[in-house]
Amino acid sequence: MIKNEYMDKIRDFLTSSKFVKAVYLIAFTIMLTGIISSQNFLFKSIVENGISKKDIIAQKTLTVEDVKRTEQHKREVAQKVEPVLVPAEDEFIKSNLETLQNSVLQIRKKEKSLEEKRGELNILFDLTGNTSKDFILDYLLNVDEASLREAFEKASLSLVKILQVGITENDYERDKITALIKNNLVSNVSKRQVSVITAMLEQVIVPNLVVDDIATDNAKLNARDSVKPYKVTFQKGEKIVFEGEPVTRLKRDALRVAGYNVYELNSQGILSVYILVLILTLTFISYIKGFEKQFKEPRYMALCAMLVLLTSACAILLQAGSTSYSESLRYTLPIPAVITVAAIFLNPRISFLLTVLTLTILTVGMQYDAEFMIIFTVLSLIGMITVSKIRYTRRFDMIKVGFHLAVSGLLIMLSLYFIDKCLTDVENYLIVKNCVYIFLSCIINSIIVLGVSPLLENTFQIITPYGLAELGDHNQPLLKRLQMEAPGTYHHSLMVSTLCEAASEAIGANPILARVGAFYHDIGKLKRPLFFVENQSYFGIENPHNKLNPRLSKMVITAHPKDGVEIAKKNGLPNVICDFIIQHHGEGLAKYFYNQAVLEEGVENVKEEQFRYPGPKPNSKETAILMLADAVESAVRAMKGATSDEIESIIDKIIVERLNDGQLADSPLTLKDLKIIALTFSRILRGMQHDRIKYQEDIAQEFNKNKIEMPNKILDEDFEKKIQELEDSKPKYNTENADWSNNEKKDL
């Protein structure tokens, strides 16, 4: 028993949506990593274990930078840069000399023996190893005060000269300091004072020049940057590598420039690529769940996965299949197609994110340069703007998008290359080649997108504005059937579509989707068109519901949403249109037949739930607008000649009823949206209820009147005769009972 419960839990886990999504995630990341890492096997077809497997000859003259020698030269130049020295505080050193002078004068004034004073001076002066020690001490203690002050003044002047020369850490050694002092003594120093002044200065001098690490590093960096790259040229026909030759960094770069794949991924590299792919994929999924919840369905995710996988596969095939210079071929990748397809099938924001993540994977995994990333990232931003302005009723606008991207890509690439030419030598041939590639790629990609859009729509069951524009064509088979078999329903659908489109545009919903959904919302009535009152007057038949009981009539009427979905699926309409068909009545009450049943059976024998539509309730702004527009248009049409106040009252009543009945509970409409919708409905319906001028009964008299008022206008006699014949043949209208005369009825 416990084992069965355990197995059931495992089965439930394996069949749960979370597990399935995790499997899809892992499968996608492994596939994408495998595609990017497949260049490893392509690499081994040329080089294996760092050894060339065959002779490779340059098909054209190639110039390659020897990165190793260039870096070595840069290091040598940087090492030769001398440290940058900056002066320290000289006043501190000068104050030390003054302090030393004051201390000597104080010792001389003390009432102590000569030996005690010599001891204190020994502490004050470090004269270890100085052969003139006794002379210096005697001079400091016994010379007259004027001579002592003169010695200190000369020491101070000499100190100024020494500090101007500067003292570094390397100079701060006894012998070097002594020599520095003697070389910078003032000129009028006597021989007796030289040793004394030297001893004074030795006590106070410290390094006044220190190394500025930041300035030194900048100097070394500038020196490195000043080194020109060391380049090696392989002439056309020259062997780049020989069979069995070790492939160095220089040879690898030459092979890469020649168009060969030289990136060897080991297990660590493959794992790194997988981690990057996984992180970027989770980032994309998190964005969709957090900010674009309407696109988290599997079909949208599958489309995004397909775009990324195909683009990565194209990158690998281009690199593997090229036998000549392949730097330019990367600009033929279908990145513009990814930008436009994602913007049309999802939205421009998702298009930008998907493109940037794809570019990141390709730039890192395929080792593309920064220019590739910059150009297509900016193009994705431009694509967001241009695609959002497409008029989907004109397919040529898609070609215009490709042209805008082509011109933008051309200008971006030229600007980057002009900057490069200021820094390094770039071949003009390469610039022209890359510009031509990216220009033609954008144009061709737009044409391809235009052609494959219907295929993608059918494959992923995603309706695009192009598809909606096609479905909105009144020559569509279902709309033609509706026009011929249920003309009243067709006219009603046209009026409702006008209301839906205006209201959707007013609140920021999708007006094209709302209009097309309104066209098809009542196609279920094609199954039994004569059971709906708007079609009965056209065919001139009696209402068949007069012979049915309310419950049976309710079953016929409430079945038309379900019948509509069956007809829609049979005719290949997308699911988003089916939502309009099945949701436009929600779980509303078929009030007319409910009231009839109450009159016939009694209120205690009839439940509202028995006379409600099966639902579901509208779950989008567009379907909720359709529910309101459908009810409002029918109600206003039933009240012939309704005034503006009556129209507004009907609209408010219907909206309040739907709110109180909970039919709008699943829709994202706000109270502000409902207010705007009500105002829009009122404006449109007032226009539909416009008055017409009353034409004159006697046309001939009117013409005669105009003839009198405008004597200059001469009427042709034959023309007047024809008007009179037309007036005589006009049917007589009985104004008393507002009906045609019996004879004219018979003729009609």
Structural domains present in the chain: 85-211 (no CATH), 267-462 (no CATH), 467-688 (1.10.3210), 699-747 (no CATH)
Instruction: Specify whether the CB–CB gap between 231 and 64 falls below 8 A.
Output: yes
Amino acid letter for position 5: E
SS3 85: strand
**Per-residue buried b or exposed e for 562-572, using 16+ beta carbons within 10 Å of the residue's own CB:** ebbbebbeeee
Dihedrals φ, ψ of 47, to 5°?
Answer: -130, 135
Furthest C-alpha separation in the chain: 162
Dihedrals φ, ψ of 739, to 5°?
Answer: -150, 160
Which H or E run includes 241?
Answer: strand 239-241
Instruction: Specify whether the CB–CB gap between 438 and 405 falls below 8 A.
Output: no
Rg (CA), the chain: 47
Amino acid letter for position 217: D
The yes-or-no verdict on residue 540 having pLDDT over 50 is yes
Q: How confident is the model at residue 748 (pLDDT cuts 50, 70, 90)?
A: very low
Instruction: Specify whether the CB–CB gap between 580 and 517 falls below 8 A.
Output: yes
pLDDT digits (tens, 9 = 90+) for 83-109: 777 666 666 677 777 888 888 888 888
Token pair, residue 254, equals 């030459």
- Alpha carbons 360 and 373: distance in angstroms, whole number: 7
Instruction: Specify whether the CB–CB gap between 627 and 585 falls below 8 A.
Output: yes
pLDDT number for residue 327: 67
Token pair, residue 54, equals 């065959």
Mean pLDDT of 662-678: 94
- Neighbouring-strand partners of residue 210: 86
Token pair, residue 62, equals 């190639």
* Poorest-pLDDT segment among 2-16, 55-69, 524-538: 2-16
pLDDT number for residue 701: 55
Which H or E run includes 552?
Answer: helix 550-558
Indicate whether this model's pTM tops 0.75: no
Residue 392 CB neighbour total at 10 angstroms = 17
**Dihedral angle computed from the Cα positions of residues 80, 82, 84 and 89, in that order, rounded to the nearest 10 degrees:** 160
Q: How confident is the model at residue 734 (pLDDT cuts 50, 70, 90)?
A: very low
Instruction: Specify whether the CB–CB gap between 682 and 651 falls below 8 A.
Output: yes
Mean pLDDT of the chain: 81
Which H, E and C letters describe 384-451, residue by residue?
Answer: HHHHHCCCCCCCHHHHHHHHHHHHHHHHHHHHHHHHHHHHCCCCHHHHHHHHHHHHHHHHHHHHHHHH
- Alpha carbons 398 and 340: distance in angstroms, whole number: 9
By C-alpha distance, which of 409, 445, 435, 447 is closest to 307? 445
| Cβ-Cβ contacts under 8 Å for 436 (sequence gap 6 or more) | none
pLDDT digits (tens, 9 = 90+) for 356-391: 999 999 998 887 888 889 999 999 999 999 988 887
pLDDT number for residue 426: 58
Token pair, residue 705, equals 């009147």
Instruction: Specify whether the CB–CB gap between 521 and 630 falls below 8 A.
Output: yes
pLDDT digits (tens, 9 = 90+) for 560-617: 999 999 999 999 898 899 999 999 999 999 998 999 999 888 888 889 889 999 989 9
pLDDT number for residue 582: 96
| Cβ-Cβ contacts under 8 Å for 678 (sequence gap 6 or more) | 648, 651, 652, 655
- Alpha carbons 56 and 99: distance in angstroms, whole number: 80
Crossing angle (nearest 10°) for helices 145-165 and 90-109: 160
- Alpha carbons 270 and 43: distance in angstroms, whole number: 14
CB burial class (10 A; 0-12, 13-18, 19+) of residue 551? Answer: middle
Q: From residue 698, give the alpha-carbon distance in Å to each of 78, 713, 724, 726, 742.
A: 108, 20, 10, 11, 22
- Alpha carbons 338 and 313: distance in angstroms, whole number: 13
- Alpha carbons 483 and 481: distance in angstroms, whole number: 5
**Per-residue buried b or exposed e for 302-331, using 16+ beta carbons within 10 Å of the residue's own CB:** ebbbebbeebbebbbebbbebeebbbbbbb
SS3 48: strand
pLDDT number for residue 324: 44
- Neighbouring-strand partners of residue 739: 734
- Alpha carbons 683 and 647: distance in angstroms, whole number: 10
- Neighbouring-strand partners of residue 62: 234
- Alpha carbons 496 and 637: distance in angstroms, whole number: 11
Which H or E run includes 47?
Answer: strand 47-48
pLDDT number for residue 103: 83
Q: From residue 610, give the alpha-carbon distance in Å to each of 378, 555, 559.
A: 59, 10, 13
pLDDT number for residue 427: 66
- Alpha carbons 725 and 700: distance in angstroms, whole number: 10
CB burial class (10 A; 0-12, 13-18, 19+) of residue 685? Answer: buried
- Alpha carbons 195 and 348: distance in angstroms, whole number: 87
CB burial class (10 A; 0-12, 13-18, 19+) of residue 142? Answer: exposed
With vertex at residue 441, the alpha carbon angle to CA 437 and CA 443, rounded to the nearest 5 degrees, is 125
| Cβ-Cβ contacts under 8 Å for 383 (sequence gap 6 or more) | 336, 339, 340, 343, 348, 351, 352, 355, 401, 405
Q: How confident is the model at residue 486 (pLDDT cuts 50, 70, 90)?
A: very high
Percent of the chain with pLDDT over 90: 36
pLDDT digits (tens, 9 = 90+) for 418-456: 876 665 555 677 788 889 999 999 999 999 998 899 899
Upstream peptide bond of 616 is cis (omega within 30 degrees of 0): yes
Q: How confident is the model at residue 740 (pLDDT cuts 50, 70, 90)?
A: very low
Q: How confident is the model at residue 667 (pLDDT cuts 50, 70, 90)?
A: very high
Dihedrals φ, ψ of 569, to 5°?
Answer: -65, -35
By C-alpha distance, which of 35, 47, 53 is closest to 243? 53
* Poorest-pLDDT segment among 137-151, 298-312, 686-700: 686-700
Report which DSSP code applies to 612: B
Mean pLDDT of 723-746: 39
- Neighbouring-strand partners of residue 64: 232
By C-alpha distance, which of 465, 354, 355 is closest to 405? 355
By C-alpha distance, which of 558, 46, 35, 538 is closest to 310? 35
Instruction: Name the more confident of 9 and 22.
Output: 22
